[in-house]
Structures are given as structure tokens and as C-alpha cells.
Amino acid sequence: MVKQCPNKDAIEIEVTQNDSLQIISGHHTLGYTLDLWNGKRTEGNRLNFSNWDDRGKNFQINWIDMTISPRGDPNLVLGWSDHLQLVKKNSK
């Protein structure tokens, strides 16, 4: 979803009832959810899939521009630069 790869290497996620993005297939550890490091909604903050507590795990899908943001903050979106991180909405 964030970084292009062959289908055989992709993971599948779903949006849970509490707006977490949870791995449901394609990874050796199912059930992990997308997590903001230290729960911080700041540009450049890293994201990873983990089984930590619920800090920073609520996301929204912005259907108009097909991006994913921390819930309530559509100006920051998921981006990729050596790792998954938050970037400003209109950045490259």
C-alpha cells in the first residue's frame, strides 16, 4: 500500500472497529497494528506495525485523495523515505 512491491511480498490490512490498521495476511505475525512511534503526530515521525498499547493507532482513510492519516489530522499522511513515516499531505 505504501511501497510498491510484487503481490507475493505484500501484506493485507483491514480497518478495525476502533480505526486501527491491522495486518490480516502476508506477514509472519498477524494481528499487529500500525503504530506511530511514541504516539506523536509530527512530520517525519516513524510508523511501524506492532502489538504495543493503543497510543497513536487510530487512522483514517482519506478517500478523496487516497491517503491515510492519523485520525483527525488529514494534513499528515503516510509516506515512505527509507522507512514508513508521516509526511505533509502535498509532499513528494
Domain boundaries defined on the chain? 7-88
Lowest mean pLDDT, pick from 4-8, 43-47, 73-77, 85-89: 4-8
State pLDDT tens for residues 71-83. 999 999 999 888 8
pLDDT at 2: 52
Query: Which pLDDT does position 1 carry in this prediction?
Result: 40
pLDDT digits (tens, 9 = 90+) for 44-56: 999 988 887 666 6
Query: In b/e form, how buried is each residue of 47-77, taking b as 16+ CB within 10 angstroms?
Result: bebeeeeeebbbbeeeeeeebbbbeeeeebb
Task: Note the pTM of the prediction, 2 decimals.
Answer: 0.78
